[in-house]
């Protein structure tokens, strides 16, 4: 059933064209659980067949992500971390995801909006925490645009280069990113633990 839904969805985004790209990636920017990287790899495959233009696809995908993330930023800025703690379950977010991204945002600030776009889970929450942390609108808009432009360019490029094999490559890359994220999380927790005990 899930496979059938996925195939139906891909058929829809294909026929919806560039507007469909923007609409689909807007969900990604909002932080709604959505396989945006897989969708862009699929679009990249369509680009390799000549169905779409790489430049136009990049513009529409980036715009969709950017618009969605701007809404997420505004929500975080207005309602704070309590919004995520109260409603995060609807976004399939667990407390550990919220805690981890909050610590990353506090430590690395604007760079989470660029590098964090490539990390599953962090990408979902980074815009909210940029707003929660009080980042200025101009800084957020610029860094979010840069981050999503790089992310979209990378996944569209994977689809173009690897074509119909992009899905297999995507699953491998996501596993690697997940392992790296877990290692980073363990390191961050260990660092916090060390700091607390040495401060006593």
Q: For 70-127, what is each residue's pLDDT tens digit?
A: 999 999 889 888 888 787 777 767 777 677 777 778 777 788 888 888 877 778 788 9
Counting every residue written for the chain, the total comes to 200
The 10 Å Cβ neighbour count of residue 53 is 12
Asked whether residue 197 carries a pLDDT value surpassing 90, the answer given is no
Question: pTM higher than 0.95 for the full model?
Answer: no
User: For the chain, how long is the longest CA-to-CA vector?
Assistant: 63
Q: For 52-80, what is each residue's pLDDT tens digit?
A: 999 999 999 999 999 999 999 999 889 88
CA distance 125 to 144: 12
**196 token code pair:** 């607390």
Our CA dihedral for 159, 163, 164, 169, rounded to 10 degrees, sits at -60
Burial of 154 (0-12, 13-18, 19+ CB in 10 A): middle
Asked whether residue 136 carries a pLDDT value surpassing 60, the answer given is yes
The 10 Å Cβ neighbour count of residue 73 is 24
> What sign does the dihedral 54-56-57-62 (CA atoms) show?
positive
- Which residues of the chain form beta strands (DSSP E)? none
């Amino acid at each position: 059933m899930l496979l059938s839904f996925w195939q139906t969805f891909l058929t829809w985004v294909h026929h919806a064209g560039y507007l469909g790209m923007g609409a689909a990636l807007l969900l990604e920017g909002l932080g709604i659980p959505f396989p945006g990287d897989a969708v862009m790899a699929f679009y990249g495959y369509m680009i390799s067949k000549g169905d779409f233009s790489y430049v136009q696809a990049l513009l529409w995908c980036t715009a969709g992500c950017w618009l969605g993330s701007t809404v997420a930023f505004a929500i975080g800025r207005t309602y704070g971390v309590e919004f995520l703690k109260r409603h995060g379950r609807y976004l399939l977010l667990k407390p550990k995801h919220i805690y981890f991204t909050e610590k990353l945002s506090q430590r690395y600030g604007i760079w989470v909006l660029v590098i964090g776009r490539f990390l599953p889970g962090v990408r979902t929450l980074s815009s909210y925490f940029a707003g929660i942390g009080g980042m200025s609108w101009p800084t957020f808009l610029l860094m979010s645009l840069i981050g999503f432009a790089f992310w979209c360019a990378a996944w569209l490029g994977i689809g173009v280069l690897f074509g119909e094999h992009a899905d297999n490559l995507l699953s491998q890359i996501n596993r690697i990113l997940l392992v790296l994220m877990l290692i980073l999380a363990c390191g961050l927790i260990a660092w916090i633990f060390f700091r607390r005990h040495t401060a006593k």
